[in-house]
Protein backbone atom coordinates (compact mmCIF):
# COMPACT_ATOMS: atom_id res chain seq x y z
CA UNK A 1 0.00 0.00 0.00
CA UNK A 2 1.18 3.48 -0.87
CA UNK A 3 -0.06 6.48 1.10
CA UNK A 4 0.78 10.16 1.27
CA UNK A 5 -0.47 13.19 3.22
CA UNK A 6 -1.04 16.46 1.39
CA UNK A 7 -1.37 19.79 3.23
CA UNK A 8 -1.41 18.04 6.65
CA UNK A 9 -5.11 17.28 6.59
CA UNK A 10 -5.89 14.93 3.69
CA UNK A 11 -4.41 11.46 3.32
CA UNK A 12 -4.45 9.55 0.02
CA UNK A 13 -4.15 5.76 0.22
CA UNK A 14 -3.57 3.51 -2.77
CA UNK A 15 -3.97 -0.24 -2.48
CA UNK A 16 -2.80 -2.38 -5.39
CA UNK A 17 -3.75 -5.98 -6.08
CA UNK A 18 -2.57 -8.18 -8.94
CA UNK A 19 -4.26 -11.25 -10.39
CA UNK A 20 -2.69 -13.77 -12.75
CA UNK A 21 -5.55 -15.47 -14.62
CA UNK A 22 -3.45 -18.60 -15.28
CA UNK A 23 -3.03 -19.17 -11.54
CA UNK A 24 -6.61 -18.32 -10.55
CA UNK A 25 -8.58 -20.81 -12.66
CA UNK A 26 -10.75 -22.07 -9.81
CA UNK A 27 -11.57 -18.64 -8.42
CA UNK A 28 -12.39 -16.64 -11.56
CA UNK A 29 -16.13 -16.99 -11.00
CA UNK A 30 -15.80 -15.61 -7.49
CA UNK A 31 -13.80 -12.59 -8.66
CA UNK A 32 -16.45 -11.35 -11.12
CA UNK A 33 -14.02 -11.15 -14.04
CA UNK A 34 -15.78 -10.96 -17.43
CA UNK A 35 -15.18 -14.07 -19.55
CA UNK A 36 -14.07 -11.95 -22.52
CA UNK A 37 -11.30 -10.44 -20.37
CA UNK A 38 -10.08 -13.88 -19.29
CA UNK A 39 -9.79 -15.06 -22.91
CA UNK A 40 -7.94 -11.95 -24.12
CA UNK A 41 -5.90 -10.99 -21.07
CA UNK A 42 -3.32 -12.58 -18.81
CA UNK A 43 -3.34 -10.31 -15.73
CA UNK A 44 -5.46 -7.76 -13.92
CA UNK A 45 -4.18 -4.96 -11.69
CA UNK A 46 -6.58 -3.20 -9.34
CA UNK A 47 -6.01 0.15 -7.65
CA UNK A 48 -8.26 1.35 -4.85
CA UNK A 49 -7.84 5.01 -3.95
CA UNK A 50 -9.15 6.32 -0.64
CA UNK A 51 -9.26 10.02 0.25
CA UNK A 52 -9.35 10.50 4.03
CA UNK A 53 -9.91 13.70 6.00
CA UNK A 54 -7.40 13.39 8.86
CA UNK A 55 -9.02 15.72 11.44
CA UNK A 56 -12.28 13.76 11.35
CA UNK A 57 -10.82 10.45 10.08
CA UNK A 58 -13.69 10.37 7.58
CA UNK A 59 -13.41 8.73 4.14
CA UNK A 60 -14.26 11.48 1.65
CA UNK A 61 -14.10 9.26 -1.41
CA UNK A 62 -13.12 5.74 -2.38
CA UNK A 63 -12.91 4.42 -5.92
CA UNK A 64 -11.56 1.27 -7.54
CA UNK A 65 -10.16 0.88 -11.05
CA UNK A 66 -9.13 -2.27 -12.93
CA UNK A 67 -6.70 -2.54 -15.84
CA UNK A 68 -6.00 -5.66 -17.88
CA UNK A 69 -2.82 -6.84 -19.60
CA UNK A 70 -3.22 -8.44 -23.02
CA UNK A 71 -1.80 -11.92 -23.53
CA UNK A 72 0.28 -10.39 -26.34
CA UNK A 73 2.03 -7.97 -23.94
CA UNK A 74 4.67 -8.62 -21.32
CA UNK A 75 3.18 -8.09 -17.87
CA UNK A 76 5.02 -5.98 -15.28
CA UNK A 77 3.59 -4.97 -11.91
CA UNK A 78 5.13 -1.50 -12.17
CA UNK A 79 3.31 -0.70 -15.42
CA UNK A 80 0.08 -2.24 -14.13
CA UNK A 81 0.20 -0.10 -10.98
CA UNK A 82 0.83 3.12 -12.95
CA UNK A 83 -2.04 2.43 -15.37
CA UNK A 84 -4.44 1.40 -12.60
CA UNK A 85 -3.54 4.47 -10.53
CA UNK A 86 -4.09 6.78 -13.52
CA UNK A 87 -7.47 5.13 -14.18
CA UNK A 88 -8.44 5.49 -10.51
CA UNK A 89 -7.62 9.21 -10.69
CA UNK A 90 -9.85 9.54 -13.76
CA UNK A 91 -12.68 7.66 -12.04
CA UNK A 92 -12.56 9.82 -8.94
CA UNK A 93 -12.34 12.96 -11.11
CA UNK A 94 -15.47 12.00 -13.08
CA UNK A 95 -17.56 10.94 -10.10
CA UNK A 96 -16.50 13.46 -7.48
CA UNK A 97 -16.23 16.60 -9.62
CA UNK A 98 -12.50 17.29 -9.47
CA UNK A 99 -11.99 16.35 -5.82
CA UNK A 100 -8.26 15.96 -6.52
CA UNK A 101 -6.80 19.00 -8.26
CA UNK A 102 -4.13 18.80 -10.95
CA UNK A 103 -1.51 20.19 -8.56
CA UNK A 104 -2.39 17.59 -5.92
CA UNK A 105 -2.21 14.78 -8.49
CA UNK A 106 1.26 16.00 -9.50
CA UNK A 107 2.42 15.92 -5.85
CA UNK A 108 0.98 12.42 -5.44
CA UNK A 109 2.70 11.16 -8.60
CA UNK A 110 6.02 12.61 -7.38
CA UNK A 111 5.63 10.81 -4.04
CA UNK A 112 4.58 7.61 -5.83
CA UNK A 113 7.74 7.57 -7.98
CA UNK A 114 9.88 8.09 -4.84
CA UNK A 115 8.00 5.18 -3.21
CA UNK A 116 8.63 2.96 -6.25
CA UNK A 117 12.39 3.44 -6.00
CA UNK A 118 12.53 2.16 -2.42
**Cα separation, 44 vs 41, whole angstroms:** 8
pTM: 0.80
Q: What residue spans define the domains of the chain?
A: 2-116
Note the pLDDT tens digit of each residue in 35-80.
Answer: 666 677 788 899 999 999 999 999 988 889 999 888 888 888 899 9
Burial of 111 (0-12, 13-18, 19+ CB in 10 A): middle
Amino acid sequence: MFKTIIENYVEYRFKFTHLDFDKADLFIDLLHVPLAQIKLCSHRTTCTISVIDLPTNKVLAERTAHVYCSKKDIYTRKTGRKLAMAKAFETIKELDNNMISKETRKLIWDEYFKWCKQ
